[in-house]
Amino acid sequence: MLLFGGGNGSAYNNETWEYFNLSQAGYDNYGQGCSGRNPQIPQLDTVDDSLPWIGESWSLELRNLPTTFHVPFGLIGTSRTTANGLPLPFNLGVIGMPGCLMLMSGDLGAAILPSVQGRPEWTFSIPLVQQLVGANVLLQALVLNPGANDLGVIVSNGGDA
């Protein structure tokens, strides 16, 4: 927002004020997903390079999914360093997902991702709440895909919003 001088007949102001938010919205991908026995590695990313601003809707989409049966879930968390006392990233090979890493804590919840024009989309309505400015959440998708590996689950890269 830019405010600049003006007058009302008896008073004149020649100051210029510029207002901007020092806490900019941001989103970064990190880490890598895994494919299991499929060639496709799921990729979580923003829709149209959008950013998570308070008071607005914000969308992510899951790309590069296997062509075989799959059910995508989105996980939300607060930590990239630990999850329930385990150090992150955590190698999911110990539970039948070789080559897959849990990149974030997943402690805030999970949601099934509905498909929009054949591509799973994850939309957030971010409340207009000042306390959310500067808040940080981590995101990762988990995809149920029978036959992809022993557990039948693959994961995407992580997202830091």
List, for residues 15-57, the tens digit of each pLDDT value: 777 666 556 899 999 999 999 898 899 999 999 999 999 999 9
- The pLDDT score that the predictor gives to residue 137 is 96
- Does a cis peptide bond (omega within 30 degrees of 0) precede residue 89? yes
Mean pLDDT for the stretch of residues 103-123: 90
More confident residue, 1 or 84: 84
Global pTM reads: 0.84
Q: Which of 1-5, 27-31, 107-111 has the highest mean pLDDT?
A: 27-31
pLDDT tens-digit map of 124-156: 999 999 888 889 999 999 999 999 999 999 999
Torsion over CA of 95, 30, 49 and 73, rounded to 10 degrees?
Answer: 10
- The pLDDT score that the predictor gives to residue 1 is 65
Mean pLDDT for the stretch of residues 56-80: 94
Quick one: 30 exposed, middle or buried, by C-beta within 10 A (0-12, 13-18, 19+)? middle
Q: Print burial letters for 39-70: b (CB count within 10 Å at least 16), e (below 16).
A: ebbbbbebeeeeebebeeebebbbebbbeeeb
- The pLDDT score that the predictor gives to residue 19 is 64
| Amino acid in the structure at residue 125 | S
- The pLDDT score that the predictor gives to residue 73 is 96
Per the prediction, the chain carries an average pLDDT of: 90
- The pLDDT score that the predictor gives to residue 16 is 77
